[in-house]
Amino acid sequence: MAALAWVAAILISLTVHEFSHALVSRWRGDATAERAGRLTLNPLAHIDIVGFIPILLLGFGWAKPVPYNPYNLKNPKWDSVLIALAGPASNFFVAAFAALTIRFLVGSQIVTTLNLLIVFLFLLIVLNLFLLFFNLVPVHPLDGSKLFFALFDAPRYMALREFVLVRGPQILLFLFILSIVTHLDVFAFVSTPAFATCDVLLGDSCAGFFGLVFGG
């Protein structure tokens, strides 16, 4: 049942993330994503099976990128940033909503912490916070790269942009492989702020809550 909760949390998190990209794109004047069928909360429209399976097994993967045409945007440079950051922003709101729901349900003693609903909500918090901080990394094709490229668009930063564009994904892949074959917390730059934010949202130790729910 916990595995089913994990799958449901992944589907919801990825769907809301990608839908938010499409929604802001439409709001800023581009209907490319809408015409591609991406302005929907149907998970089937956003899931890339090749990227979905690794998420289930390893906790690392991807969904289908949301297409948009910057030439249709009202302000191509900064609207592209808004579209990109809409995904991480949606992850924060999902995590905050799930945390508030847990605090209400457990605080009111409506359910216990071992209830499957609480497990699902907790997974939703952790997964969305990891998606939030991972996607803020300023490396192509992650969402944070759009803000990076907008801030460093001057000609003198060309070499830096090319490094982030070409070498960034290679570095991320190397770190991912390193995290699998070793016990090093190579993604501490994601997990540390994610768990710290989780502590704030839950009003308690996220790691302690994890141990209580999963017996760790």
> Looking at the annotation, which residues are catalytic?
18
Instruction: Give yes or no for a contact between 83 and 21, defined as CB atoms under 8 angstroms apart.
Output: yes
Report, in angstroms and rounded to the nearest whole number, the Rg of the chain calculated over CA atoms.
18
Instruction: Give yes or no for a contact between 49 and 63, defined as CB atoms under 8 angstroms apart.
Output: no
3-state secondary structure 93-120: HHHHHHHHHHHHHHHCCCCCCCCHHHHH
Whole-angstrom distance, CA of residue 173 vs CA of residue 170: 5
